[in-house]
Structure 1
Amino acid sequence: MKKIVVIGGVAAGLKAAAKARRSDPQASITVLERGKIISYGACGMPYYVGGDVNDIEDLMKTPVGIVRSSAFFKNVKDLDVLIQTEATAIDRQAKVVTVKKLATGETDTIPYDKLVIATGASPIKPPLPGVALDNIFSLWHPDDAKVIRQGIEAGNYKQAVIIGAGLVGMEMAEALTKRQLQVTVVEMKEQIFPAFLDAEIAGIASKYAAGKGITLLTEEKVERFTGETRVTAVETDKRTIPADLVILAIGARPNVELAKAAGLTIGVTGAIVVDEEMRTNDPDIYAGGDCVENINRLSGQKVFAPMGSTANKHGRVIGENLCGGHVKFKGVLNTVVAKLHNLTVGKTGLSERDAKQLGYDYITAMVAGHDKPHYMPGAKPITVKLIAEAQTGKILGMQAVGEGEVAKRVDVVAAVLTLGGTIDDLFDIDLSYAPPYNSPIDNVAVAANAVMNKLAGKFKGISPLVAKEKLEDGKTVFLDVRTPDECKQIRLSDSPSIKYIPLGQLRNRVAELNKQDEVVAFCKISLRGYDAEGILEGAGFENVKVMEGGIVSWPFSHGK
């Protein structure tokens, strides 16, 4: 009888154990978990804090409401799950794991034929003065979520400071503002979601967050926490922020101490090295989840990318291969999606920053539009930024943001990226269409068209970042072709460089513009701006551009 031992009982570990059981009904499978709770949905914790999830145990239940306990795994899958049992050493030669029973302090050894390391990662806790004060939390375990929510419901917290504007930080910003706390997010980099968004998309999300009452302090570094026993303030290099609750959301480090002590190879990312079959440098030891490094499918580089979705895939691959399979995990695209109140932010593949660093000759296009026909109830705007290789048209990455349906657009592009597709492929995909769901030409296909038109020289778009520079230098004429009523509602800026001519009047009023000037046309989403480019070029203008995304995608403050 094959003896399989799994170290780690959350995502990758239990997924591997369950898959191995399906592949080998006779194997002896033991799972070691040092905590008391197993198989929980950690990514749901911000939504428990925010009140979307009523009971913390819901994160540990099956879809029919059964708690995934040790007894559940024994009865349903014949897995021996030992909680509060910590693996302290691996003897590769003797093929045994030394364990410590945390409740009693007793030690024991467990033999294995095949071993799985799924030890996860731990939150980064900065070595700053005062970091050990009460009411400073890392949202990493259901116990953290329970204590935070209990404190909120008891009225103990009024002013929250979140350190880090990544996925967990911004999800917690939503959760705490929904709970009516005053929320400040401190981020040492220049934008929110700094690991995966380009500046113009991050700017749209930042403007939305500010509108929801979230104070964002970027390019600011935390220096210390103050208070006697409980935190009362966060001191940065620029100010002191009152706080009775602090959330540390500055990333994670892989738990590799056990693997390293056993002589397993640790990679450049600091995580465990595995091959395509999730095998370590020991042929009888596999590893998966947040403790291993992955390969980025586009760059070919090793990355540390802890994600629950990836961990579950790792587990499935490992489970097959433990029992003689040769399934391969081919890598990640660093696809992410996040919710911020009614806004969704998503990304897949390379950012423009990544493409530049990797030396690609690339082209980008940013388009805005409703996620379904404007006449349909609930239609909301989204902005899509597409990045492609200039010579081949191969898609390199995509980002999207908006109150409309973003996630499915991200997933479509992720599929195209996985298959090595081009902008032509993205346009050619026969996507479903009905007015309640999308427009006849989907937003991602529109983005592909914009890139095609750029490559063909038919569309001379510039990003909002470039447009802002031109607006500030005062040498460029900005042509707003919206209707007068639209202009009364919102203006791009109060700059005297902006000229207002509705598109329907442009052909008759073209003489009001100087053919020697650089003209940047725009409208609400810059579809009419594109039409204006054609009209002006037809009239002999040689230096006309379009501000991509229009007013909807302008990531800066507007005029009065």
Structure 2
Amino acid sequence: IEKGDIVSYGACGLPFYLSGEFDDISELIKTPVGVTRDVNFFKAVKGVEVKVNHEAVDIDRKNKRLKIKDLATGQEEEIPYDKLVIATGSNPVKPPIPGIDLQGIHTLKDIHDGTTIKQAIAESKKKKVVIVGAGMIGMECIEPFVEAGFEVNIVEKLPFVLPTFLDEEMSLLIMKHLASKGVRLFCGEGVKEFVGNKDGRVAKVITEGSEIEADLVILAIGFRPNLELAKKAGLEIGNFGIKVDPFLRTSDPDIYAGGDCVEAHNLVTGEKFYAPIGSTANKHGRVIADNLVGRNSMFRGVTGTGIVKIMGLNVARTGITEAYARQKGYDVITCINPGPDRPHFIKENKPIIIKLIVDSYSGRILGMQALGEGDVFARINTAAALISQGCTIDDVMNVDMAYSPPFSPAMDNLIVAANIIQNKRDGLARSYSPIALKKKLDAGEDFVILDVRTPAEVEAMRLPYENVVYIPLGKVRERADELPRDKEIVCMCKISLRGYEAVRILLSKGFEMDRLAFLDGGVLAWPYEKIVT
């Protein structure tokens, strides 16, 4: 029973239709060999009768009957069932903001939204768009508009982009990248009003701090589960969706539920949360189908894994962020590890930055974030597998990862990140994250930043602070006495491998551990001011 007129489509491909990755939107409802998944397909191939433009309006659980309504004629009928599956999905969030129903304001949820927005892009005269919400869908919508010559404005109520997906220091790197591409960011500003012109079309977006001209607005604030049918049937509803057990049964054992309408089980924290994504919905379908025919399948939960492409940057996360981990009471060790995704001598190597979050007590991996032009996909999936099995950083070293120079360094970036955390855990060195070091700088603390890069590197890029001292790593041992022993020294380089080595050299020269640290991620992961020549 399908309320709409399309049976099955790949909604996650909609931003790529807008960008011109493919021209025919019907590709989203076809199989890989070009067969359209319509009513006839499901009848002939799957043996399933599909009723489109029919809405399920009521469930009589006692008599096991489903009332449906033909939306074309208004006629209602009842269908008996032995088992029932609810897959009502989600709806885009549309808050009660004045002017939200003006023409030119769109959400991106289904095929019809895609065709409407594509046409609006072509017909736009001012070429000015405001994307409200800097989550994954909002970020995926940037590139189609940039490529179409639009002035792109991002409005996000929280202080940085992807605010529930990444930690701030990783998000700031994306924000710098977007700014370099001409994207205007209005973070920390909620929308107060949409103002229309005399024709009833959006002309301006009023935020808490700005007025932005626009003839197109994309609402990408998020989604809420569609729970009306389940609530009406008296099924148990959790804080984030329909409650289901590991077999995806609802509180009624003869009714299953899956996809965006159910709450998810977080394998890291054990909590329930909302994690709508097409990959999980497909897995739910498999598990429910197995159980309908007596195969007794279970779905353990998810680690919140996701990946998005943002103007040439690959951005991914699995597990929980450092901020959320601390909020939940975890004592964590983190690291930021930049590096090439393949050896430097492979021409196709590209940079990536990994942030790893680990429980300091058990060593269990709680989360990982990765971004860069290089391959973050393989690393995030490996981390997701490790996290889902409750693995520790010590387990990472024992994973027999494939190696050949065209694909990865001999010590994969994920293994190196685990090694850095091991070094911190075992007391070999202390570090500061970029955010922590920036706070020290802003507070005017009296300490030294020791930059151990080569003169050529320093000439090309340096930090704009008066407390920076330059001594190449190869000279640190012989020039150690030039450094103060009564001040804290924070060592750094391009990625802070040499920064760590400088700490070890200074320790061997009698400097005290509590006055030595290195900068996590070095200048490559520094999201603040830099002087580039």
Instruction: State the TM-score bracket (shorter-chain normalisation).
Output: over 0.9
**Where does residue 352 of structure 2 map in the other structure?**
382
Look up the SS of the partner of 1:43 in the other structure: helix
1:80 to 45, 49, 65: 49
**Where does residue 125 of structure 1 map in the other structure?**
94
2:471 to 487, 501, 506: 501
**Where does residue 40 of structure 2 map in the other structure?**
71
**Where does residue 424 of structure 1 map in the other structure?**
394
TM-score (norm 2): 0.97
**Where does residue 174 of structure 1 map in the other structure?**
143
Q: In percent, how many aligned pairs have the same letter?
A: 48
8 Å contact kept, 1:516–1:541? no
**Where does residue 264 of structure 1 map in the other structure?**
235
**Where does residue 553 of structure 1 map in the other structure?**
525
Look up the SS of the partner of 2:247 in the other structure: coil
Alpha-carbon distance in structure 2 between the residues aligned to 1:227 and 1:236: 14
**Where does residue 277 of structure 1 map in the other structure?**
247
**Where does residue 220 of structure 2 map in the other structure?**
249
1:336 maps to 2:344: no
Alpha-carbon distance in structure 2 between the residues aligned to 1:64 and 1:537: 63
Alpha-carbon distance in structure 2 between the residues aligned to 1:153 and 1:544: 57
1:223 to 188, 192, 197: 192
For residues 395-416 of structure 1, give each alpha carbon's deviation from its aligned partner in whole angstroms, at most 9, with x where no partner exists.
Answer: 1111111111111111001011
Alpha-carbon distance in structure 2 between the residues aligned to 1:324 and 1:156: 58
2:405 to 435, 443, 458: 435
**Where does residue 159 of structure 1 map in the other structure?**
128
Shift of 1:508: 2.5
1:468 maps to 2:438: yes
8 Å contact kept, 1:480–1:499? yes
For residues 279-320 of structure 1, give each alpha carbon's deviation from its aligned partner in whole angstroms, at most 9, with x where no partner exists.
Answer: 011111100000001111111111111111111111111001
Alpha-carbon distance in structure 2 between the residues aligned to 1:489 and 1:145: 44
Residue range with higher mean Cα deviation, 133-142 or 537-546: 537-546
For residues 356-380 of structure 1, give each alpha carbon's deviation from its aligned partner in whole angstroms, at most 9, with x where no partner exists.
Answer: 1221222111111110001111211
2:180 to 191, 211, 223: 211
Alpha-carbon distance in structure 2 between the residues aligned to 1:55 and 1:213: 29
8 Å contact kept, 1:157–1:245? no
Alpha-carbon distance in structure 2 between the residues aligned to 1:54 and 1:442: 38
**Where does residue 337 of structure 2 map in the other structure?**
367
Residue range with higher mean Cα deviation, 124-133 or 467-476: 467-476
Residue range with higher mean Cα deviation, 319-328 or 430-439: 319-328
1:345 maps to 2:315: yes
Shift of 1:511: 2.3
Alpha-carbon distance in structure 1 between the residues aligned to 2:347 and 2:149: 29
Look up the SS of the partner of 1:63 in the other structure: coil
**Where does residue 27 of structure 2 map in the other structure?**
58
Alpha-carbon distance in structure 2 between the residues aligned to 1:454 and 1:462: 11
Alpha-carbon distance in structure 1 between the residues aligned to 2:61 and 2:445: 69
**Where does residue 72 of structure 2 map in the other structure?**
103
Alpha-carbon distance in structure 2 between the residues aligned to 1:451 and 1:382: 18
8 Å contact kept, 2:350–2:373? yes
1:490 to 428, 443, 461: 461
**Where does residue 165 of structure 2 map in the other structure?**
196
**Where does residue 237 of structure 1 map in the other structure?**
208
**Where does residue 421 of structure 2 map in the other structure?**
451
**Matched residue type, 1:65:** G
Residue range with higher mean Cα deviation, 499-508 or 297-306: 499-508
For residues 116-169 of structure 1, give each alpha carbon's deviation from its aligned partner in whole angstroms, at most 9, with x where no partner exists.
Answer: 000000000011111000110011111111111122223445011011000001
**Matched residue type, 1:250:** I
For residues 229-288 of structure 1, give each alpha carbon's deviation from its aligned partner in whole angstroms, at most 9, with x where no partner exists.
Answer: 11001001111000011000111111010110011111122x111111000111111000
Q: Gaps (5+ residues) in structure 1?
A: 1-31
Look up the SS of the partner of 2:397 in the other structure: helix
2:115 to 146, 149, 152: 146
TM-score (norm 1): 0.92
Shift of 1:485: 1.4
8 Å contact kept, 2:124–2:215? no
Look up the SS of the partner of 1:338 in the other structure: strand
RMSD: 1.2
